[in-house]
Amino acid sequence: DLPFSLVRATVDQAPVAISITDLKANILYVNAAFSEITGYAPQECIGRNESMLSDQRTPPEVYRELWGCITRQQAWRGRLLNRHRDGRRYLADLTVAPMLNEAGETTHFIGMHRDITEEY
Ligand code: FAD
């Protein structure tokens, strides 16, 4: 088995923004790429909601579809506009997935995103 410290370091250093939330999208953990892409240090975003990243120009249907999917325990992938700490908007390719316990219940959500602004 891999040592836990290696698994932890892998998530910390993965070159994609990763966050772990509770069932209401309150942020419990962010990795280094999350801080780099969003501009928020861990102490500035842990305890806040993922909606801190949302930009008013993303249609509400996108969020409804996201929540519809993850509450059915399916992963959702899509593109939406996020707002960087400095106010700049960026296009995010986001995947949100449920994390399940041994009883098959959702305990957390994991978010993974990349800034794809430059690809457009
Ligand atoms: P909200 O108040 O969130 O409402 C938007 C819609 O979502 C409504 O239809 C509402 O009914 C539904 N909804 C909200 N919360 C729940 C819930 N607990 N259960 C069921 N339905 C619900 N958003 C971003 O903009 N950028 C991100 O990078 C991003 N990453 C996320 C990562 C994770 C792991 C999760 C779980 C969510 C993420 N979100 C992200 C979605 C975010 O939580 C907000 O729903 C979104 O930003 C819209 O915020 P809002 O305040 O405008 O609307």
Point out the ligand 1 atom lying closest to the alpha carbon of residue 111.
34
ipTM for the predicted complex comes to: 0.95
Rounded to the nearest angstrom, the distance between the alpha carbon of 2 and the centre of ligand 1 is 34
Tell me the per-residue pLDDT of 67-93, one tens digit each, with 9 for 90 and over: 999 999 999 999 999 999 999 999 999
Point out the ligand 1 atom lying closest to the alpha carbon of residue 67.
21
Is the CB of 29 inside a 6 Å radius of any atom of ligand 1? no
Is the CB of 71 inside a 6 Å radius of any atom of ligand 1? yes
Q: What is the pTM of this model?
A: 0.95
Torsion sign (Cα): 30, 37, 89, 118? negative
Residues with Cβ within 8 Å of residue 108, at least 6 apart in sequence: 20, 21, 22, 23, 28, 98, 99
